[in-house]
Every structure is written in C-alpha cells, then in structure tokens.
Structure 1
Amino acid sequence: MTTESSIDALDARLIALLEDEPRIGVLECSRRLGVARGTVQARMDKLAARGVIRGYGPHVDPASLGYPVMAFVTLELRQAVGHDSVARNLARVPEVLEAHTVTGTGDMLCRIVARTNAGLQGVIDRVLACEGVLRASTVIALAEQIPHRTLPLVTEAANHRPHP
C-alpha cells in the first residue's frame, strides 16, 4: 500500500529540478518535465502540504557571510528545565544554525558557526548561559566532505515506493 509520505518518479524529478534551479517557474517546470502546468502546481502544493518541500529560499553559505568556523556542540541539559525551553533560548543565538534532541551521552546536538576560533568561544559562552544548559562538548569541523544534501534520499525514496 502507498503511504502518505511516499513520492514517485515525477515528484523526484520535480524536486531535483527545483533543487537545481529554485527560481524556475511552474510553466518552465511543466515544459521541462513534459507534464501539464496544473500537474506541476498540484504536485508542488501536495509536496509542500505534506512537508516534503519546506521552502524555496536560497541556500546560504555561512562562510561567505564571514562565519567560516563551524562546530558541533553536544549539550547536557538540566532535565527539570526541558528541551523546549532550552531550544527557545538557543534560537535567540544567531550563530546556532540547528539544534536537535538526541540520544546518547548528551541531550541536544547543535551546529553553530563563528567568525573566528576566539569568536567560537564567545558563542559557546552564550550557549552555556542559556537557562537549563549544564555543559557543552565542542567538536570543530575542519572541512566539509559532503555538503548538506537531500537529492540522493529523494531518489532512493522514489525508487523504493511501497507497492499496493
């Protein structure tokens, strides 16, 4: 049976096209994919409604903005405060790009950026000042080997759809 989250080959081709050319219009998408404009629009609307496509904005490179230092910070939290409260506080620190509740030795994993290594210490100090954060363990990223990507996953999902 087909699940709500499954995608097909046309969805995958549409997503790949939008990933390559995010400013492309619906009419041009329909021309390149060889389907009706209404089909493209309906697919885009359904993919967005299901949360498969979460936006059409630009992919911003923090290093190009002057934030070349990237680190992954594992936080240990005071359990009484809770993850949601800490996440709200972390969201106020602009250099915190992501925060995820995790299993393992820590409670939350964050991806942060800074202008310099010394600036990284300042960001970590602000993270530690957030209510509920007890300790931080930081790993500095030296080089990006595989940039953030989703297209291989989209292709895999389209090729392994559940069958009725």
Structure 2
Amino acid sequence: MAVDALDTRILQLLLQQPRTSVREYARILGIARGTLQARLDRLERDGVITGTGPALAPAALGHPVLAFVHIEVTQGHLDEVGDALAAVPEIVEAFSVTGGGDLMTRVVARDNAHLEDVIQTLISLPGVVRTRTDVALRERVPYRLLPLVESIGRTAAN
C-alpha cells in the first residue's frame, strides 16, 4: 500500500505526539476531523498502523537483561517450535530467519541466571536442536520509525 504526502504527515504526527487527540491532530494538520479519521481507518485497515498501545520498557518492569537467542530447529518442526515459543513470557519477539539458525528471538530476563533458565527452557522444547545466545550490552539505536516515515514522506512529496 502506497502512502501519500498527507499520510506521511499524519504518521509523523502520530509518532511525534502519540498522546494527542484526533481533533487536535486535525487542527495541527489543517484538515477536517472526518478526513483525518478516514485516513487513520484506512491506514489501520491496510496494516500500516498496527497498534495504539503504550510502548513498555522491560528493564523498568524488572527485566533489564536483553539477549538475542538464535534457535536451530529440526527440519519440519518450525511451526511447532514457533507455537511453543509463544508460551515463554520472556520471549518478546520471534522471527523465522535465514542464516545460522531457523528462528531468532528477543529475550528479556531479570539477570543472567534467569536468562540461563530461559535458554534451558528453550533447549528443552521438542524440535529444538541447539541455541546460540548474544547478550546485548547497550542499546545504540532505539526502535524508531520516524526517520523512515520522514524519508518516505520526502519521496511521496516528489
């Protein structure tokens, strides 16, 4: 789905001021509230906007350790292992990947001992052959989409 210049302005505003009302967004953008609402509805329907909930910090929730665990899976068991990963609360994301493993997970833990326990849980899942863990030391670029949206907006404006 292509986004136009107005869509990118809307997305930029949502990212910059996420707690503002639709009425205020419309005022800032200089468009009718109904126009804005229709655009927001379409962006949600098309999967561009995927949520409106708060972003939470696992570290502030008592889980400051972040690791990326690569999981090698027995051939033909990717779906079963993927389903089993959903039952592990410390896994905050999981992706099928190419390269040195079949799955890559983002795991949070209270401390290194807790991380080891989580890894042992993963290793014991049926279909898991082996894991490889990379512990994150420091976040260098936080998750962000504003620069991407701004780049798309510049392209859409041309």
TM-score of the superposed pair, with normalisation by structure 1: 0.91
More moved, 36-45 vs 16-25: 16-25
Q: 1:15, CA displacement in angstroms?
A: 1.3
Q: What stretches of structure 2 of length at least 5 have no aligned partner?
A: none
- Return the alpha-carbon distance in structure 1 between the equivalents of residues 157 and 32 of structure 2: 26
**What's the offset of the Cα at 1:22?**
2.3
Q: Counterpart in 2 of 1:58?
A: 54
User: Alignment length, in residue pairs?
Assistant: 158
Cα RMSD (Å) of the superposition? 1.5
Counterparts in 2 of 1:136-147, with a 5 A limit? 136-147=131-142
CA distance in 2, matches of 1:77, 1:37: 50
Q: 1:156 to 1:37 in 2, by over 3 A?
A: same
Find the aligned partners of 1:21 and 1:161 in 2 and give their Cα distance: 22
Instruction: State the partner residue of 2:8.
Output: 12
Deviations 1:45-68 (A, max 9, x none): 011011000000000000000100
Cα displacement (A) at 1:10: 1.6
Q: How does 1:104-115 map to 2 (within 5 A)?
A: 104-115=99-110
Candidates 130, 134, 142, aligned match of 1:135: 130
Q: Structure 1 CA distance, aligned partners of 2:115 and 2:86? A: 16
Q: Is the 8 A contact 1:72 1:109 kept in 2?
A: yes
Matched ranges for 1:1-164 at <5 A: 5-81=1-77, 83-161=78-156
Q: Find the aligned partners of 2:106 and 2:157 in 1 and give their Cα distance.
A: 34
Give runs of ≥4 in structure 1 deviating > 3 Å: none
State the distance in 2 between where 1:88 and 1:158 align.
37
- Equivalent position SS for 2:125: coil
Q: Quote the Cα distance in structure 1 between the aligned partners of 2:146 and 2:103.
A: 26
2:55 partner SS: coil
Identity %: 48
Post-superposition offset of 1:14: 1.2
2:5, 2:157 within 8 Å by CA — same for their partners in 1? no
